[in-house]
Structure 1
Amino acid sequence: MTSVELDLVVTLNWNDLRPSQIHTAVREQFPGSKCRIKDRYNALSKIKDQEKFGGIPMKVLENFFHNNGFAYYTRENSSTDRTEDILFCHNISHKIWRALPEVLLIDTMYNTNTCRWPLVQFVGVTLTSKAFCIAHAFLVRETKKNFTWALKKQRRTP
């Protein structure tokens, strides 16, 4: 989809037209367009996400962590410049774990998010046998390298 077509889609969306009406209007305006209706739906979905979250999802997540007392680390793939691993920890949880470092449990859950990245939970246990969350990580792959990165960052969290 060209930038001119995308601008038209944005304008028509602001005027509350349905996706099928937007598709028809764009096809009339640009008869040679190679875009399918699925491309228009994808563009509308991105526009709505940006309106809802106020920006790209990764920036929204980083703003949330920064504004709510979380320490967080990200690791990017050097060849694609895409975030591959995210570890976050609330500072209070980490202070509790520093006081009670005897037990560290690691649990992984699958297919819990739209990216289908495994969610890794780091859990500690208090002297009264109560479990508490220390940190969470989204890892793009469940490999030794990714877990090692997450463990090192979790240990280093302030």
Structure 2
Amino acid sequence: MSRPPFPPFSPATAVQKVRMAEDAWNSRDPARAALAYTPDSRWRNRSTFVTGREQIEVFLTAKWAREQDYRLIKEIWAHGDDRIAVRFAYEWHDADGQWWRSYGNENWAFDAQRLMHTRHASINDVAIAEAERLFHWPREGSGRRPDEHPSLSDLGL
């Protein structure tokens, strides 16, 4: 089931698509997030290669079990008619209580049915102290970042 906005992307619709992806990932609901991808979508996430919605759901379930108190901000970098490049950062802590900020870039490509068929993500993790956290919003409900929360650019990230 595809969800607007659809390719070809304008600057405004590309920004909207990025925010929708951010919201889906901040929900930490693997089934919801996986709906944006084709049934045979191909991913490269760090050094992990995933194919298909079922594997995406398994991957995201494990990711969000490991990356606790996950909060993500995405920002558009560039777009074409059927492609979007995104930069992002997210904060989380591991089971030992160590906080991390993960920085990354994603390249997305969409198919004729308007779903993402390819996602390439490169990500680096930086250990941070809890006092260095910048992403503070409630996890209750949808986990959506409030509109008034600063963007990556506003935070200087």
Query: How high is the TM-score relative to the length of structure 1?
Result: 0.26
The structure with the largest helix share of the pair is: 1
Q: Max radius of gyration: which structure?
A: 1
Query: How high is the TM-score relative to the length of structure 2?
Result: 0.26
* Higher relative contact order (CA closer than 8 Å, sequence separation 6+): 2
The structure with the largest strand share of the pair is: 2
